[in-house]
Amino acid sequence: MNAHDYALQANGSFALPDACFKVKNLMADESSEISDFADVIGVDPSMTSRLLQIANSAIYSFPGEISTISRAITIIGTQAIYNMMLVDVAASAFKHFENQAIDLKRFWRMSIYCGLASKNLAISAGIRDIERLFVAGLLQNFGELLVAKINPDVAQQCEKYSKAQLPWQLQELALGFTYTDVSADLLKIWQLPEKIILPIRHFNAASNIEINKDVKVLHLASRLALIDSHPDEFVFDEVVDESLCKPLGLSIDDLTQAAEFASKEASSILTIMNPKLFSK
Neighbours of 175 (CB within 10 A): 22
Identity of the residue numbered 37:
F
Task: Give the distance from CA 23 to its chain's centroid.
Answer: 19
- Structural domain that includes position 109: 3-278
Q: How many residues does the chain have?
A: 280
Could you give the CA distance from residue 70 to residue 76 in angstroms, rounded to a whole number?
10
Number of CB atoms found within 10 A of residue 39's CB: 14
Confidence at residue 273, expressed as pLDDT on a 0 to 100 scale: 67
Q: Which residues of 74-100 are buried (b: 16+ CB within 10 A; e: fewer)?
A: eebebebbbbbbbbbbbbbbbeebeee
Residue 29: count of CB within 10 angstroms of its CB? 9
Give 131-134 contacts, CB < 8 A, sequence gap 24+. 131/79, 131/80, 131/83, 132/79, 132/83, 132/193, 132/195, 132/196, 132/214, 133/199, 133/214, 133/217, 133/218, 134/59, 134/83
| pLDDT for the residue 226 | 96
Answer yes or no: are the C-beta atoms of 144 and 107 closer than 8 Å.
yes
Count of domains observed in the chain: 1
pTM tops 0.85, yes or no:
no
pLDDT value at position 190?
A: 84
pLDDT at 252: 95
- Would you state the pLDDT for residue 276? 65
Give the per-residue pLDDT at 121. Answer: 96
pLDDT tens digit at each of 280 positions of the chain:
899 998 888 766 666 778 888 888 888 888 999 899 889 888 877 778 777 877 787 667 777 788 888 887 887 778 777 777 777 777 676 666 666 788 888 998 999 999 999 999 999 999 987 878 988 998 999 899 889 988 999 999 999 999 889 999 999 999 999 999 999 999 998 888 898 999 999 998 887 777 789 999 999 999 999 999 999 999 999 899 999 999 999 999 999 999 999 998 888 777 766 666 666 5
Q: Tell me how many degrees the CA angle 99-133-236 measures, rounded to the nearest 5.
A: 75
What is the CATH number for 189?
1.10.3210.10
